[in-house]
Structure 1
Amino acid sequence: MKKTKKDIIINVELDENKIPENIKWSAEDGGVTNQDVKALILSTWDFDKKETLKIDLWTKDMPLDHMNIFIYQTLVSLSKTHLRSTNNEKYLKIFPISVTILLKN
């Protein structure tokens, strides 16, 4: 089987104080080209160090209510992904109660 390589590109435009003003991402294989977004959470796992490496970015014009929704939806998604991948319900306790309740319904 031939291996392939795919690129996901993230471009961040900063203001003079190094605060994100614009964030765009592209994933040609997924049909996404220079899509504007207001926030981005990227987590990677360092196997040797057994730790998470993260990038959390949002533009300075992202409204607080949008940030709240973004974080909530991210937690819900992470909870569902973890449960689906591990079938280990005990770890649901570490997530906010509202997310756990949502998953049970």
Structure 2
Amino acid sequence: MVTIKKQKLKAYILLEGLVALALLATITSLVLGEMDRSRTQMQESLHQQEVLNVATMAVQTGQNHLAINGVEVRMVKHDNEISIYDGQNEVLHVTKN
């Protein structure tokens, strides 16, 4: 005959283990989610940095269109203004007084 007290103890230990496992899974999920968000943010930051580097090269060389390292920028000059575009997004706008 099995005593009920031992069964309750085993069930309690099992429940405690499941709660600990759920807590570990939640913490792991949160950490991995933050790492993914951080990586995405870092990639966007590196892309913006590369766009600004290519834009600087385009201005220094006087080219209206420059494509390097998968980044393509377009420079539009008006009277006293220079605008730099990455696709349809205006990256830089300079006005001379």
Q: Same fold (TM over 0.5)?
A: no
Please tell me the TM-score bracket, short chain as reference: 0.3 to 0.5
Where is the strand percentage greater, Structure 1 or Structure 2? 1
TM-score if structure 1 supplies the norm length? 0.30
Q: Which has the higher helix share?
A: 2
Relative contact order (alpha carbons < 8 A, sep ≥ 6): 1 or 2 greater? 1
The higher radius of gyration belongs to 2
